[in-house]
Chain A
Amino acid sequence: MAAPLLDVRNLTTRFRTERGELTAVDDVSFSVAPGQTLAIVGESGSGKSVTALSLMRLIPDPPGRITGGQILFEGQDLLKLSDAEMRAIRGDRIAMIFQEPMSSLNPALTVGMQIAEPVNLHRKMPWTQAFEVAKSLLGKVRIPDAASRLQTWPHQYSGGMRQRTMIAMALACQPKLIIADEPTTALDVTVQAQILDLLKELTHETGAALILITHDLGVVARYADHVAVMYGGRIVEQAEAGALYANPRHPYTRGLLASIPRLDSTAGQRLVPIQGQPPDLARLPPGCAFAPRCQHADAQCSASRPLLRTLEPGHLAACHHDHAIDAVLQPPQAHAA
């Protein structure tokens, strides 16, 4: 892997709530190389979206606060920047695409204005020129008839077109890193395929890195190079995508893969659900957060929190028993590279 573009070290984000302080992101470390796609997978409350917002320093304070760690972007710690310096990076070198294309566009500004704005702001380009850039960006995200679309409003657009507009905005200043938080969750499956293909193609073209936050293991398999699986605010497993699916090492990852029906699995066969509920971040157990749902858990798991360890080069898991589990569960046949 090339030198990382983004290197996150021990990131910790906490929220003060009525029920006490909770740690939404707990000691999370990962890195992304230029041109690569990292998927952060997890269920609701796993900390994946808070991780994304922390990277952008968009955590509302109060109640939230980044309490520790480093976010090294091109070698520079984003957590040490002033608000003004951070604003200069947001939308310029790091861009974000949000889940809700319906609510993340300004309904009172034309589409052209919203795409041209970052170019005008960050590149100090006059508006007339910025609109030219916006026009070519709309064409790039395959919105037909781009020239006349500049003067239209978000409410005239369908969900897919709004998400294309969001992508055009994100690409406006040719960012080095794009963070996409569930970019297609609100969209239909045929449109999801169009949008993700487009995002992948455009990042490939510009060499930008992509962090894809999702709960969909199918989307991860199709689009990600590397995967980090989050549970209860922590990364429990991290690997190259092929290795993660071929040989998942954490019981939670295994459980997830076994519990989803697949288009190519044996139909009608009973699914193997993960018992119990995802954890409540305000009441995390002292040991492994997954222990109450894990069939391999023992006294050690409820007493001490397992650390993320390197099992094979590039493959990390946080489990006390990953080797014992291998002995119990025959790992799926590794696919030839």
Chain B
Amino acid sequence: MPPDVMSATQPLLQVEDLKVHFPLPAAGLLRKSAGAVKAVDGVSFTLAAGQTLGLVGESGCGKSTTGLAVLRMQPVTAGRILFEGADITAQQARTGTFRRRMQMVYQDPYGSLNPRMKVRDLVGEPLQVHGMDKNPGEYQDRIASLLKTVGLLPDMADRYPHEFSGGQRQRIGIARALALEPSLIICDEPVSALDVSIQAQVVNVLQELQERLGLAYLFIAHDLAVVRHLSHRVAVMYLGRIVEIASRDDLYRAPLHPYTQALLSAVPVADPVVERARQRIVVQGEVPSALKPPPGCRFHTRCPQAMPKCRTDDPPLQDLGHLGAGRAVACHLHTATGAIPVVAAAA
């Protein structure tokens, strides 16, 4: 279905039960397979046009793999990816026509730009690939306007990446992503490699572009404050699963999953007065290996509220629409009919 006949309510991106498993090489001659690392294990979400979905979680939770799978840069084990109404699960990043409409901004502004290419060619490359450089005048104008769009000067086009700071390089990466007028940009930790005083510059550029161009972002990050700042909806991942998804305000104001609560509680606020008054939940231990996720609820080994049931039954992601639009949680404490009263955590 072409984008112009898409109904207004249809999401721009729809991911259904996405699984990305990495099979392990056989350990020994007689054994066939040693299992698989289930990096992404049944993830579903939707993203509306012009909106930002934040994808947060700690290292190894599968958030970056999810991003790569959506871009079709990572083979999918199971599940479906629908983008602008079309099923792109079987397409590949290199050949898929959808890639004009879906671009990526990478984390490392030093590693993601070819040091031997001028800015002009870095930003123009996507246009060249798609044969949009036939009219030299228009092509050069387009590059100049892209640089202006991200707050760089058109006369910087003949410089090389090493002449730029990290923040400026990240702008070049954004200009490159914008070249083909995408409707969706996957941002994988776009500001975490930048100095604190520079992060805000890039965050503002992303925000302005969304307002002006109606872009949607899948914003992958571990910094919960930046995600809150930029997202309309937020999904929290833990060991390959989404454990909670909600609108930004619902999630940050009243997190329901004990992991979300612990994650938010662990982030220090830059104000000693607030910090001293805060009640904190500190979870013990670290994220278990994705090779052998715990049985039952994957978070039960660290959960301060774990019940016997959590050790055996894997809680599904349940729709909790009565607690907020599009809200869903995977936790035995919360059911579709109403929450089981939460036992106060021992001091």
Interface residues, chain A, with chain B CB atoms under 8 Å away: 43-44, 158-161, 188-194, 197, 215-223, 241-242, 245-246, 255-257, 259-265, 267-268, 270-275, 277-278, 335
Total A-B residue pairs with C-beta atoms closer than 8 Å?
A: 134
Residue from the list A221, A263, A270, A335 in contact with B224, Cβ < 8 A? A263
Expressed in whole angstroms, the minimum distance between the Cβ of B237 and any Cβ of chain A is 12
How long is the Cα–Cα vector from A44 to B197 in the complex, in angstroms? Answer: 10
A261 near B266 with CB under 8 A, answer no
Residue from the list B271, B284, B302 in contact with A221, Cβ < 8 A? B271
A189 near B196 with CB under 8 A, answer no
B271 near A190 with CB under 8 A, answer no
How long is the Cα–Cα vector from A274 to B225 in the complex, in angstroms? Answer: 18
Take A259-B200, A262-B269, A270-B207 as given contacts and tell me if A189 and B263 are in contact as well, using a CB distance cutoff of 8 Å: yes
Q: Is B165 an interface residue (CB 8 A)?
A: yes
Residue from the list A218, A245, A273 in contact with B197, Cβ < 8 A? A273
A245 near B273 with CB under 8 A, answer yes
Residue from the list A188, A197, A274, A275 in contact with B222, Cβ < 8 A? A188
A192 neighbours in B (Cβ, 8 Å): 266
Expressed in whole angstroms, the minimum distance between the Cβ of B205 and any Cβ of chain A is 10
A221 near B207 with CB under 8 A, answer no
B266 near A264 with CB under 8 A, answer no
B58 neighbours in A (Cβ, 8 Å): 188-191
Q: Is B117 an interface residue (CB 8 A)?
A: no
A223 neighbours in B (Cβ, 8 Å): 268
B93 neighbours in A (Cβ, 8 Å): none
B249 neighbours in A (Cβ, 8 Å): 267
Expressed in whole angstroms, the minimum distance between the Cβ of A41 and any Cβ of chain B is 9
Which residue, of B224, B225, B263, B265, has the highest number of chain A Cβ atoms within 10 A?
A: B225
Residue from the list A215, A242, A273 in contact with B273, Cβ < 8 A? A242
Closest chain B residue, CB of each to CB of A337: B273
Q: Is B4 an interface residue (CB 8 A)?
A: no
B167 neighbours in A (Cβ, 8 Å): 277
Take A197-B282, A256-B196, A267-B229 as given contacts and tell me if A189 and B273 are in contact as well, using a CB distance cutoff of 8 Å: no
A259 neighbours in B (Cβ, 8 Å): 196-197, 199-200
B266 near A190 with CB under 8 A, answer yes
How long is the Cα–Cα vector from A262 to B274 in the complex, in angstroms? Answer: 11
How long is the Cα–Cα vector from A241 to B272 in the complex, in angstroms? Answer: 7
A220 near B270 with CB under 8 A, answer yes
How long is the Cα–Cα vector from A241 to B262 in the complex, in angstroms? Answer: 25
A260 near B266 with CB under 8 A, answer no
Closest chain B residue, CB of each to CB of A189: B266
Q: 16 A-B contacts, Cβ less than 8 Å apart?
A: A43-B195, A190-B266, A192-B266, A193-B280, A193-B282, A194-B284, A217-B270, A222-B268, A242-B273, A255-B197, A260-B225, A262-B271, A263-B224, A271-B200, A273-B197, A278-B197
A274 near B200 with CB under 8 A, answer yes
Q: Which 9 A-B pairs have the closest CB atoms?
A: A218-B268, A273-B200, A261-B229, A259-B200, A188-B58, A271-B200, A217-B270, A222-B268, A193-B266
A277 near B264 with CB under 8 A, answer no
Expressed in whole angstroms, the minimum distance between the Cβ of B109 and any Cβ of chain A is 13
Q: Is B307 an interface residue (CB 8 A)?
A: no
Expressed in whole angstroms, the minimum distance between the Cβ of A232 and any Cβ of chain B is 12
A221 near B270 with CB under 8 A, answer yes
How long is the Cα–Cα vector from A278 to B284 in the complex, in angstroms? Answer: 38
A270 near B59 with CB under 8 A, answer no
Q: Chain B interface mostly helix, strand, loop or mixed?
A: helix
A263 near B197 with CB under 8 A, answer no
Take A221-B272, A267-B252 as given contacts and tell me if A189 and B222 are in contact as well, using a CB distance cutoff of 8 Å: yes
Can you add 7 more A-B contacts, CB < 8 Å, to A190-B262, A192-B266, A245-B273?
A190-B286, A190-B302, A193-B280, A217-B270, A267-B229, A271-B229, A273-B198
Q: Is B204 an interface residue (CB 8 A)?
A: yes
- Encode B254-296 as 1/0 by CB contact (under 8 A) with A: 0000000011111111111111000010111011000000000
A189 near B195 with CB under 8 A, answer no
Q: Is B157 an interface residue (CB 8 A)?
A: no
A222 neighbours in B (Cβ, 8 Å): 268-269, 272, 275
Q: Is B300 an interface residue (CB 8 A)?
A: no
Closest chain B residue, CB of each to CB of A275: B201
Which residue, of B224, B229, B284, has the highest number of chain A Cβ atoms within 10 A?
A: B229
A273 near B201 with CB under 8 A, answer yes
B207 neighbours in A (Cβ, 8 Å): 270
Q: Is B334 an interface residue (CB 8 A)?
A: no
Take A190-B262, A270-B204, A277-B167 as given contacts and tell me if A43 and B197 are in contact as well, using a CB distance cutoff of 8 Å: yes
B37 neighbours in A (Cβ, 8 Å): none
Q: Is B180 an interface residue (CB 8 A)?
A: no
Q: Is B6 an interface residue (CB 8 A)?
A: no
A194 neighbours in B (Cβ, 8 Å): 282, 284
A273 neighbours in B (Cβ, 8 Å): 197-201, 203-204
How long is the Cα–Cα vector from A219 to B225 in the complex, in angstroms? Answer: 13
How long is the Cα–Cα vector from A141 to B228 in the complex, in angstroms? Answer: 33
Residue from the list A160, A219, A260, A335 in contact with B200, Cβ < 8 A? A260
A278 neighbours in B (Cβ, 8 Å): 195, 197-198
A188 near B197 with CB under 8 A, answer no
B228 near A217 with CB under 8 A, answer no
